[in-house]
């Protein structure tokens, strides 16, 4: 059956589940413009079939003023769903975690309202802040008093996991019915970790990934994650995992994620160089997965002014409006096609539809941990247990100075 042009089915925007006679249906938006009034009866006449999917037209009194909606029978062939994903390119409000969480909620609400997003990925260290340009008063053999105070303030802006900020992020995900991947600075006692938190669309905190290898001077302020936090979460929209910034250059870490079946590979980053996209494209091709890279876009004015906050070695050449991180957020398909981005122009929501059927098509001739592997020649062992600096063999614990 040939479908009229005005029945062309768009990607879900926004998707919503309904039921009809106890059968699940998914609500889609149809292509506009609407047909002439003389043809409009064809819309209202009866259900139609579009590519073997039952199309049930929903009419409204304001049909000229808005989109037409249809319901697609989910009992039909729907083996390769499409996921609408958004990467957020925006700056932290530095040293102000409550205000940053407020900003995160505004961006999340906009992604859902404007793009119908089912998955939203935020940049590295969005909550807590990426301390770009700061040296924390460190040189070989020397630390300064100001650097110690800088760390104290940075430590106070980090969040406990679990903690009230995690609860708020979970509530956001549940409120907007969206899967959320959020870059944070995690505070564990007096050690900080660069981490990614995962939430499902029901408002549940799923878990975290701690960056296992901080880059360069990051190692002064962040601890090292271990193999116990390299998760890939199975969700209704696909298997989701994350590697942070230059972790993505570590072949063995990537291989571990491929072995866990990652389908939507999130790459929160602080690297805005043009060459970063080459790494993201390689990972998409290598892993046969979608790659969603989210970076902040920051100007000097997004950080506190000097002398409170100083960009070491660069401060004199910076103007208030100078770009200190140009973003470059991008979404790439398993075939290496750029679906959205990169954006180097400003804060933005960068969205694309992820056709999960593309994963099987990509892995037809290259499955790096499947038919294209040689485990009898090359193999990887991942130590995925927690590594604690102190282990108590006794069952006793000390509480408030007394043995219990």
- Tell whether the torsion through CA atoms of 327, 331, 337 and 338 is positive or negative: negative
Contact 328, 342 (CB under 8 A): yes
- Residue 301 DSSP label: G
And the tokens for 376? 């009898």
CA atoms within 13 A on the CB side of 345: 6
Cα–Cα distance, 399 to 404 (Å, whole number): 7
E strand or H helix that includes residue 89: strand 82-89
Instruction: Let me know if 376 is a catalytic residue.
Output: no
Express the helix, strand and coil content of the chain in percent, nearest 5 each.
Answer: 25, 30, 45
What residues contact 56, with CB distance under 8 A and at least 6 apart? 20, 25, 47, 70, 71, 73
3-state secondary structure of 112: helix
Cα–Cα distance, 91 to 127 (Å, whole number): 10
Q: In sequence order, what E strands does 301-361 have?
A: 323-326, 329-332, 338-343, 348-355
The catalytic residue among 71, 124, 247, 286 is 124
Cα–Cα distance, 325 to 311 (Å, whole number): 12
Burial of 229 from C-beta contacts in 10 A (0-12 / 13-18 / 19+): middle
Cα–Cα distance, 93 to 101 (Å, whole number): 9
What residues contact 350, with CB distance under 8 A and at least 6 apart? 86, 87, 88, 89, 329, 330, 331, 340, 341, 343
Question: Which residues are identified as catalytic?
Answer: 124
């Amino acid at each position: 059956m040939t479908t009229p042009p005005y029945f062309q089915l768009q990607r879900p925007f926004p998707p919503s589940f309904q039921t009809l006679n106890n059968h699940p249906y998914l609500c889609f938006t149809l292509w506009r413009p609407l047909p002439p009034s003389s043809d409009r009866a064809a819309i209202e006449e009866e259900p139609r079939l579009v590519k073997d999917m039952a199309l049930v037209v929903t009419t409204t009194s304001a049909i000229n003023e808005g989109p037409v909606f249809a319901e697609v029978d989910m009992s039909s062939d729907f083996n390769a769903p499409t996921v609408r994903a958004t990467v957020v390119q925006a700056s932290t409000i530095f040293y102000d975690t409550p205000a940053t969480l407020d900003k995160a909620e505004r961006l999340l609400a906009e992604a859902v309202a404007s793009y119908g997003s089912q998955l939203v990925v935020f940049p590295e260290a969005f909550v807590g802040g990426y301390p770009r340009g700061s040296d924390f008063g460190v040189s070989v053999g020397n630390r300064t008093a100001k650097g110690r105070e800088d760390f104290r303030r940075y430590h106070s802006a980090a969040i406990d996991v679990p903690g009230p900020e995690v609860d708020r992020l979970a509530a956001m995900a549940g409120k907007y019915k969206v899967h959320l991947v959020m870059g944070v600075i995690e505070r564990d006692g007096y050690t900080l970790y660069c981490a990614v938190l995962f939430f499902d669309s029901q408002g549940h905190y799923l878990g975290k990934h701690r960056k296992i290898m901080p880059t360069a001077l990051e190692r002064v302020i962040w601890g090292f994650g271990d193999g116990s936090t390299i998760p890939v979460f199975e969700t209704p929209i696909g298997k989701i995992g994350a590697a942070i910034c230059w972790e993505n250059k570590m072949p063995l870490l990537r291989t571990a994620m491929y072995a866990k079946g990652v389908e939507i590979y999130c790459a929160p980053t602080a690297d805005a160089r043009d060459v970063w996209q080459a790494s993201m494209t390689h990972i998409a091709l290598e892993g046969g997965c979608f790659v969603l890279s989210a970076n902040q876009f920051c100007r000097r004015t997004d950080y506190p002014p000097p002398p409170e906050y100083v960009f070491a070695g660069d401060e004199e050449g910076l103007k208030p409006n100078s770009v200190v991180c140009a973003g470059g957020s991008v979404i790439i398909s398993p075939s290496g096609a750029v679906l959205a981005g990169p954006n180097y122009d400003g804060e933005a929501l960068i969205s694309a539809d992820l056709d999960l059927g593309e994963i099987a098509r990509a892995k037809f001739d290259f499955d790096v941990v499947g038919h294209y592997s040689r485990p009898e020649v090359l193999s990887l062992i991942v130590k995925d247990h927690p590594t604690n600096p102190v282990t108590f063999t006794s069952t006793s614990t000390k509480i408030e100075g007394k043995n219990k």
